[in-house]
Structure 1
Amino acid sequence: MTDQVMAAIDGSQFSEGVCDYAAWASQALAAPLTFLHVVDNHPQVAEADLSGNIGLGSREHLLEELASLDEQRAKLAQEQGRVMLAAAKTRAAEAGVSEPGSRQRNGTLVETLSELENDIRLLVIGKRGETAHQAVDHLGSNLERVVRTLHRPILMVPDSFETPSKVLIAFDGSKTTRKGIEMIAKSPLFEGIPVHVVIVGAETGDNRSQLEWALKTLREAGHEAEGAIRAGEVEETLRNYKEEQGIDLLVMGAYGHSRIRHLLVGSTTTAMLRRASVPVLLLR
């Protein structure tokens, strides 16, 4: 099944938010919804040398027990995943999604999503997974790897759902963000939702013409759009604008060619994502 909204769920606190935002996106895009749960059976540590001074037979017995425990853990993880997938499908159906689907795979999340990439129109994923540190501004390492690997739009969501009512596009005139403006203009995802376009930089003729192009593109497609050029540090400026305007969804290019690029690939790599209290749609 191609062109689907895919929602990656696990046992984290973000799974309900993932489920609800995925249901919203699926209905807005009129696209099928599939929930994905990946059972990672990768050993977390290398096998230790357990021989020591004990006899070989004892060591073999111990290794057999450990193998049996691993097998039991894998079966339990799969069963837990099936329960979560069933619950997610029920929740999405109750939200109005027609026939949500599910897939369970063994492996790592990044490898699995890479294999399924051609089927994905939009990936919905939580800010952190169940094994990540729970600090408020911590970002799951899985998410960072997914962002760098996948060439599909990614919607990173918080743990609770709120219907988006104002969208902010961080625009820098790069090829990625111009493509993003055109994508959003054509997409039904934000139909009827006011769109704000912000360029962080100086009030120059080039920035003004870039902003006017973006607003014209959105308005001609039927969107209510307004924009601003703000000087300052990128992350702080966008955050302030978001708070001033009551923005509840942020759109960014995952890779651009200006200062915004450094938010995702430089030393301040994940500043916006770490501090985001609203969903962030990353465009590739």
Structure 2
Amino acid sequence: MTEQVMAAIDGSQFSEGVCDYAAWASLALAAPLTFLHVVDNHPQTAEPDLSGNIGLGAREHLLEELSHLDEQRAKVAQEQGRLMLKAAKARAIEDGVAEPATRQRNGTLVETLSELENDIRLLVIGKRGEGAHQASDHLGSNLERVVRTLHRPILMAPETFKRPERVMIAFDGSKTTRKGVELLAKSPLFSGIPCHVVIVGAETGDNRSQLDWALSTLREAGHEAEGAIRAGEVEETLRSYQQEHGIDLLVMGAYGHSRVRHLLVGSTTTTMLRRASLPVLLLR
């Protein structure tokens, strides 16, 4: 199967943003678009303890009822998913995608994406799923697990689409972020979009030569490119640069040992990513 843009949708407030960013990416990359909805049939609540003074017959009857309820819940979830996929497909067609595909699978999102990994060129996913609290300041646990499992670029979409006009890469000279610069340079996704390269650190000869390499790589590929080396705390420095220059898409390496690439490691993700109102492309 051709590698495609895959968009994971659910009933969360991020699904419209996911649809629109996925349609934008599909058109820019000239890659097929598939919307995926995963029905997780694990019951949301723990089975109640039915021991105690209830007679065995009554307990069996209750278990049958619970089993029936689970079946009903699964059917409703499947039907809701089908309707969401239908709406997502119609929205993508409106956005200009010729033939978006839809897939519905049973299981968990992480396992399903892991199985489909070879078909994915870019995964588009919302910051949080429908199970998360709307006002929550946290990334969804699904997103964190997907980022840890998948070795594909992942675009974390905000609620509302805005066509990217200025992109910034958080750069530290590592293998992952050098690959990121090369990807930015040659990917049709960023064609004609000015690129900013930011190194958070001291003004050293090594940092300067890393920045020069990144800027010349982008300029040789025809991009308008500018960059900066700034000292300071990583999240704060990147965020203030983003605000100053009207950046509307951030590219980062997801894992590693340096401070910039350390942003997604550990039990809590950074304030910056948790609060990001702009799309973030995470590279592995």
TM over 0.5: yes
CA-CA distance at 1:138 after TM superposition: 2.0
- Say whether 1:168 aligns with 2:165: no
Q: After the TM superposition, which residues 100-119 of structure 1 pair with which residues of structure 2 at under 5 Å, given as runs?
A: 100-119=100-119
Gapped runs of 5+ residues in structure 1?
A: none
Deviation per CA, 1:48-107, whole angstroms, max 9, x where unpaired? 331321111111111111111100000000000000000000000111001000100001
- Say whether 1:273 aligns with 2:273: yes
Aligned length: 284
Aligned to 2:28, the other structure's residue is in SS state helix
CA-CA distance at 1:255 after TM superposition: 1.3
Distance 1:45 1:97 in 2: 39
Distance 1:268 1:88 in 2: 31
Distance 2:197 2:244 in 1: 14
Distance 2:50 2:266 in 1: 42
Q: After the TM superposition, which residues 1-284 of structure 1 pair with which residues of structure 2 at under 5 Å, given as runs?
A: 1-266=1-266, 269-284=269-284
Distance 1:129 1:140 in 2: 6
Q: Would you say the 8 A contact 1:2–1:118 is kept in 2?
A: no
Q: Would you say the 8 A contact 2:168–2:250 is kept in 1?
A: yes
Distance 2:63 2:51 in 1: 10
Deviation per CA, 1:174-233, whole angstroms, max 9, x where unpaired? 000001111111110000010000000000000000000000111111111110000000
Q: Percent identity?
A: 86
CA-CA distance at 1:260 after TM superposition: 1.0
Gapped runs of 5+ residues in structure 2?
A: none
- AA paired with 1:240? S
Distance 1:44 1:267 in 2: 23
Q: Would you say the 8 A contact 2:235–2:270 is kept in 1?
A: no
Q: Would you say the 8 A contact 1:196–1:225 is kept in 2?
A: yes
CA-CA distance at 1:258 after TM superposition: 1.0
- AA paired with 1:26? S
Aligned to 1:199, the other structure's residue is in SS state strand
- AA paired with 1:35? F
Q: Would you say the 8 A contact 2:139–2:269 is kept in 1?
A: no
Change (3 A) 1:268 1:41: closer
Q: Would you say the 8 A contact 1:177–1:253 is kept in 2?
A: yes
Distance 1:137 1:276 in 2: 10
Deviation per CA, 1:4-46, whole angstroms, max 9, x where unpaired? 0000000001000000000000000000000000000113444
Deviation per CA, 1:221-259, whole angstroms, max 9, x where unpaired? 111111000000000000000000000000000013311
CA-CA distance at 1:136 after TM superposition: 4.8
Normalising to structure 1: TM-score of the pair? 0.97
Aligned to 2:196, the other structure's residue is in SS state strand
Distance 2:49 2:64 in 1: 14
- AA paired with 1:239? R
Normalising to structure 2: TM-score of the pair? 0.97
